[in-house]
Amino acid sequence: MSAETAFFTAEGERLVPTALTRGPWSPLHQHGGPPAAVMARAIEQAAGEPDSLHLTRFSVDFLRPVPMEPLTVAVERVRDGRRARGYAAVLSAGGQIVARATALVVRTEPVTPPHVPAPEPLLPLPEGAAPFQFPFFRDPVGYHTGVETRMARGTFGSGRAAAWMRLRVPLVQGETPSPVQRVLTVADSGSGIGAAFDPALSVPFINADLTVALHRFPDGDWIGLEAATVLEPHGIGLTRTGLYDVRGAIGQGLQGLVVGPPGAR
């Protein structure tokens, strides 16, 4: 286990990544989850009013691999309405834009909706799920050691599996991550949980984007991901991920995949 105690440390407006942000394909690049989460963090800070505003949709395009370098986030409000606001965020490293995100934030109001059957919870719950470690990380310390993962059902590599994940450390040193930040830190792992290949083949698969839609915030630290992946022979894939807490469904994730031949980097 790494001695690092957070994914990032804050130095003024800069967020300095620790080894726990390192992704599976290169020691020089971050996993997509922590950068997505710090973009959501910046949007939440810009929106304010955490008790009445609910981030319902977050979509990020990864323009290039996010380097293991200090990051900055710039946020702009692009839509302003009575119930809904829109935000755009730009993530930069070394003076270069590496990701762009948009988010929809909705003001909550008490209503009495028609009865809809509650979705089934993701079972087994975390305490009954088996410990799991992603097998395709190349370094002993990285994102995979900054989170705890337990396989709930399915077989890794089959293209359809479910797992529970939670952060072992804060997103930013000295801060308690918000529910949205906790979801975004792990939602990018849907394509890993739902990997549709034998890991011994060393097939690279990178999601070019991530969209998360939430109808409620999670209760507790554990986030459930029920992922299903399809891959096409022209090198494009798609992962759909149901998002859960221990009570039931909280939203959905969607990732477009770029798939390479075995052994490619």
Q: Could you report the per-residue pLDDT of 115-162, keeping only the tens digit for each?
A: 888 778 999 999 999 999 998 888 999 999 999 999 999 999 999 999
Range of the domain at 21: 8-109+122-259
The CATH number covering residue 239 comes to 2.40.160.210
pLDDT for position 202? 64
Listed in order, strand segments (DSSP E) in the chain are 8-11, 14-17, 53-62, 71-80, 84-93, 96-107, 130-132, 147-154, 160-167, 205-207, 209-214, 223-231, 236-245, 248-259
Going 257 to 241 to 232 to 142, the CA torsion angle's sign is: positive
181-208 pLDDT, tens digit per residue, is 999 999 999 999 999 876 555 667 789 9
pLDDT for position 138? 85
pLDDT for position 117? 83
User: Quick check: is 114 in a domain?
Assistant: no
pLDDT for position 113? 84
User: Quick check: is 96 in a domain?
Assistant: yes
- d(CA 164, CA 46) in angstroms, rounded, equals 30
> For the chain, how many structural domains are there in total?
1
Give the number of other CB atoms < 10 A from CB of residue 79.
Answer: 12
User: Quick check: is 115 in a domain?
Assistant: no
pLDDT for position 1? 43
User: Quick check: is 130 in a domain?
Assistant: yes
SS3 state at 180:
helix
pLDDT for position 199? 58
Compute CA distances 195 → 116, 130, 238, whole Å.
32, 18, 10
User: Quick check: is 211 in a domain?
Assistant: yes
User: Quick check: is 23 in a domain?
Assistant: yes
User: Quick check: is 3 in a domain?
Assistant: no
Element (H, E) at 146: helix 143-146
Tokens of 87: 């935000």
Q: Using 50 as the pLDDT threshold, list the residues of the chain that sit under it.
A: 1
